[in-house]
Every structure is written in structure tokens, then in C-alpha cells.
Amino acid sequence: MMLRIAASAACTWLILVTAPLAVVSGEENKKAESVSSETDPYAWLEDVEGEKSLDWVRARNALSQAQLERDPSFEKLRDDLLAIFDSNERIAFVRKRGEYYYNFWRDEKNERGIWRRTTLDEYKKAEPQWEILLDLDELAKAENENWVWSGAQLLRPDYTRCLLSMSRGGADADVTREYDLTTRQFVTDGFNRSEAKGGMSWIDIDHVFISTDFGPGSLTSSGYPRIAKLWTRGTKLEEAQVVYEGAITDLSISASHDNTPGYERNFVRRAIAFYNNEVYLLKEDGSLALIEAPNSAGKGVHRDYLTLELRDAWTVGEKTYAAGSLIVANFDDFMAGKREFTVLFEPNERSALAGYNFTKDFLLLNVLEDVASKLFVMQAEADGSWTKTPLVGAPTLGTVSVSPVDADESNEYFMTSTDYLTPTTLYMGEVGKEPEELKSMPEFFDTTGLKVTQHFATSKDGTKIPYFMLYRDEMKYDGANPTLLYGYGGFEVSLQPGYRATVGRAWSTQGGVYVVANIRGGGEYGPRWHQAALKQNRLKAYEDFAAVGQDLIDRRVTSTQHLGIQGGSNGGLLVGNMVALYPQLFKAAVCQVPLLDMKRYSHLLAGASWMAEYGNPDVPEEWEFIRTYSPYHNVKESVDYPTVFFTTSTRDDRVHPGHARKMFAKMEAWGKDVLYYENIEGGHGGAANNRQSAFMTAMAFTFLKQQLFPPAKE
């Protein structure tokens, strides 16, 4: 296997969450909380599960449900969406472990889901026979817990034991338990991690690495583990050996084991902040050897190779490697002091590294060119050079991703392809041969007459901002088309074309135009695109989004009265800023699990971990620029705003629900046209199961339809 120690935690549109759900502890945070209570009349809404707060939530939920559920189309839309989420025709994506292919699955009969496996021969069938390993609905019922699946790590080489993780209600904080696949039972007195943010991973049958809440002082200010330990079977957790202890200001600390046969190694990762990390090789004597590469670089180790994804230019000797490049070196030689690299990818103005994966003998390279995927095969030659050829049979349009089936044993790979109009297709291939189509998603909505085009808007500073538009070919450019503009713009996350069945059913087939803006702050053009909107430059992301909105109006696609916006998490911050700073551009906004109070964000739950992205509001000179994009502080009673629907989750332990609560309460008190709904479970994803996902999605699109579509004729 390849051990990739990325530059940051993956961050999706839902930023790509420890009990109890409360403000992060610490004297500094207590002071900040008390100051907030004195100056903020809605600070009491930060009490996540307080009776007063939840009574307030239930009252607002009832009002929003009454308005949206009485819409004549709501019930059918919700049922249609649930049918999509529950459909047995969806692709059951798998991961190979040993001779079996594993999958976690939810549908109408399995609300919480089942963990199952099958053989390759069975998997290739239209209706495979599955062996059920764990029924989460049965477990939840037996234990009277709202368990939501978090994942499972199987122990090599026998794959009869696993570390199985679950959360209550979909939170980031989860539990890990040792599970025996032979007996289908949790192991009595086995490895067990109590509920917390963190993780546990195998070294061998008698040893694991664990990072968790070990008690007072063991968490960072972001609420993640500060200490990594090696735990031996049969001993108490408090007796586990500390392998690394970070600073309280770090983001998180973790340790992991590379189980590649013949290349077994242990590593420690110190995440100081997003895209700021130190990675160490943990030697057998317990000492640490730093991988002396830039902290901002993503670091990966596979067999003989060290790969570095550079986010900043790096000069080594007389050679400078460009930001956004992927370079490779011999790992042992690098650790011995040699600095000989081969450049596998270097970006230009139109391209960026989307990802890479090793098979047994090759490296599969995924490149974005103007947000479209291009796949290549890289092969190391005897003289140390690498050759590059296109991946045979890879689609040339849309979004394509590729991953190894078993990087230690074969050159086989799984590949998926999709775009806004084409359901996801899964292929299985071997390098050098034509891939075989295994499965394809059904068409969940009628694409007849729909088309997709890419356009470029000009932002305030002259930068060209790409965006995709999904619409009906016969659309009239009369400014009257209901249009939904979606964006994210943060943490180097790229919004690539993909089949969105729920959007197609709820919006496109109803006559709505769907637009996705690839604004700065994202990763569509690599690190430079992300770094252009960091901290004091954050407003550029919002200028980009406004430019796309204005371009849609100028092109007569739509008009202010028919233009809505949507975004979640960091995208919720985007939506909040568009409402506060550009209220004249839009008619309606859906603001999901958002950050909004940027004065308080770093003191709430995981907020401190995002200061590399936004800045530190406790530093006066940084608060000066952060304040310019703090929606909670920039809305004014005297201004007319678009109608806003705020949604969040009580069980979101990543982005505090207090952001949405307080913003809504402030605007409600001013008599603004706002709605609010808070799912009591669901975590940062907003929903704990398919039924909740269908309900929340139906609410959002019903709201948008009510606001943006012309009124129905009597």
C-alpha cells in the first residue's frame, strides 16, 4: 500500500467534527466566551444542547416545516429523492482486502446500513451475492444508540480482525472497537477507543497506534488529539507508550503503520495547521527522523519512493521546483541526505495536479486542465528517469478518477468517470490494457434537451473565473430563468463536474439553471488558486462569486429576481458573505452548516484548526481584515437582504451550530425574511441517514423553487 501523509486533512464542501458538544475548553476560550456573552445578545445560542437553545430550535424548525412541507410538490420531491438515495441500482463501490471486496451500503431496508463483502466474480454480476459482516441497524437497536458508520480497518495479512469505527448521530467524534470477522462479534477485552475525535490503526495483532482524548491537556486547542501512543494488547490504555507529543496549538497528532510487504515502516504526523505539517519516520529504537521537506508539502511514501506535492516553490541546491509540482526521490537515499528528484508533474496557467496513485509498478497521474481530467501512466526506468504516456482507455471528457485495486500485488485499477449529464460509470482495468466497464449508475433524471457549457467571468481584479452551466438547450436569454449558483472556494477543494441526481431531479428537470463557480480559494488551478484567497485576500473569493453572478445577469441567463445561491460549511461562509456584501445580486440563499461569526469561530469546536485559512481574530491586526468577511458583523438592520434559509445540525461537532443560530436570530429580530432548520442529528454532513438527506434536500430545493420560480398560475 501507499502511505500518503497529506499536507492537510481532507476538506470537502463540508469543510474536505468530540463529545461533549460544547465550546473547546481552556482558560483562553473561557475568557473569550465570557466576553462574547457580554457583547453578543445571542451568545446563549452557543449552548448546543441546552434546554433553552433546543426549545428555540424546535420552534424555528416548526415554522420552516410548516412553510415548506405545505408546498404541493414537497412530498413527491422528498419521496423521489429518497428513492434516489435508497436505490439498489446505485454503484456499490468496493475496496479489496485479501480475496474479498468490501462495501458499506444503505438502502430502504437498511437505514443505518450494512457492512458486507463479496468476491470479484460475484461483484461483476448485475446482482452480486453479498456476505453481511455487520448490520448497523441491529447493533443500534441492541445498544439503543444512533450509530452512524465511520469506517473499518482490516488487519493484514489474514483480514480476520478489524478496527471498526462508529459515531453517534454522525458526529466527527467516534468510537473504535475491535471486531472479529470470523465470529461476527466484537472482541471481548479487545482494543477499544472511547468516543472522541482521533483514531486507532493496526501495527500488528498485538499492537495499535492510538490518538484520542487521553484526559485533561491531551487535546489541541482545535479539539483534536495532541498525543500519539503505541498500545499493546492486554495492557491498560494509560500504560500505552507515548511516541509523540505535540503542542496545544497544533492541529492534531497521529501515528500510522505502512504494512507494505518488505517495506514495513512507522510514521508520525504532526499537523501544525492546514497545509503545515511535519512527518517523521519512527525508528525501531523509538527515535524520530524528520522527513526534511517543506512543511507545506504533501508527503507520500510507497516502497522505494518518496513523493512530494509542493504547495510552494522549493529551491534545493541550484534547482528550484515550482509550486504545484509533484516530485519523486528514492526514500532511503533522501533520508540519508541525498536530494535528487525527478519532476513528475509541473503545472502551467491552465493545469493543476488533481491526484496520483501507485500500482505495483506504475504511478497513475491525474491532471486537471481547465477543470477537466487527464490521466497518465508514469513508469520509472532503470536509469532513474520516468516515462509518461496516456492511460489506455481513459475517458477524455468530464471528471475521471483512478485508484489501485491492490497496489502491493498488481497493476489493476478502478476508474470512475462522470459529468453533469452522465451517470457515474465504474471501470476495472490493468495498465496497458483497455479497461472493462463494470457498473454504471442509472439515469435518475431525464437529460433530454439539457446541455452543459463552460464560461469565464472576469473578477474585480481582472482574473478569469471559470464556471459550468447546466441548462435546457432551448433556454431563452430573457433574464427570467430560475438559476441556482453554487460555490465553495476554500481549503484547495476543487469543484469538478459530476452527476448530481438530486440536483437533476429537484432543479434541472423543473426548468432551473444550475451553475457551479470555480472561484479562488479552491484548488481548480492548484495551490496558487487557493493561496490567492487566503486570510487578508479572502474577499477575492467573494468578488469572484459575485462576478459569476453578474455575468449570468449580463448574459441575460437570469436576473436578480430569479438568481439564488447555495453553499455549505466554508461554502456557507461564502453564502453568508454574498448576502452581507452583495445583497443586490440575489433573491434567495441557502446557507448550510455555515461559519458566520468570524470573531468567535476559532473558539468554537474545531475552529482553531482553520486559522491558517482565515487568520486569527484574537490578533487585532488580523481581526481588521477578518472583520471584512465576518457576515455576522457585516449585516445591518437598514439593508434589504435576500431571503435566506439557514440549515445546520445539532450534532455537528466541527462547525458549531451557533453560527447559523445567531445569524438567523439577529436577522429575525430585525424582521428580515429568513427561515431556519436544524437537524437534531447528522453531524457536519447535515443528515445521519438517507431519509434525513432526502428531507433536508427537499426542503432546500422547495425553498429555492418558492423564491425563484414564477408563481404558479391559478
Task: Kindly list the catalytic residues.
Answer: 569, 684
Measure the CA–CA gap between 379 and 414, rounded to whole angstroms: 18
Give Cα separations from 622 to 279, 347, 625, 628 (angstroms). 29, 32, 6, 10
Beta strands 326-330 and 319-321, pairing class: unpaired
Three cell numbers, residue 118: 463479496
Residue 31 CB coordination number (10 Å):
12
> Contact at 8 Å (CB) between 583 and 640?
yes
Look at residue 312 and give its three-state secondary structure: coil
Beta strands 326-330 and 342-345, pairing class: antiparallel
Measure the CA–CA gap between 576 and 566, rounded to whole angstroms: 10
Measure the CA–CA gap between 31 and 578, rounded to whole angstroms: 31
Sheet strands (E) in 410-553: 412-418, 425-430, 436-440, 450-458, 464-472, 483-486, 513-517
> Contact at 8 Å (CB) between 650 and 49?
yes
> Contact at 8 Å (CB) between 220 and 252?
yes
Q: What are 132-140's contacts with CB under 8 Å, separation 24+?
A: 133/102, 133/181, 133/184, 134/164, 134/179, 134/184, 135/110, 136/110, 136/112, 136/166, 137/110, 137/111, 137/112, 137/113, 140/112
Measure the CA–CA gap between 369 and 409, rounded to whole angstroms: 31
Measure the CA–CA gap between 492 and 308, rounded to whole angstroms: 17
282 Ramachandran zone, left/alpha/beta (phi>0; psi -120 to 50)? beta
3-state secondary structure 60-85: HHHHHHHHHHCCCCHHHHHHHHHHHH
Measure the CA–CA gap between 543 and 526, rounded to whole angstroms: 19
Q: What is the DSSP string of 7-37?
A: SS----S------S-SSPPSHHHHHHHHHHH
Measure the CA–CA gap between 704 and 484, rounded to whole angstroms: 8
- Radius of gyration in angstroms for the set of CA atoms belonging to the chain, rounded to a whole number: 25
- Residue 132's beta-bridge partner residues? 116
Host H or E run for residue 501: helix 501-506
Three cell numbers, residue 313: 516553490
Host H or E run for residue 272: strand 265-273
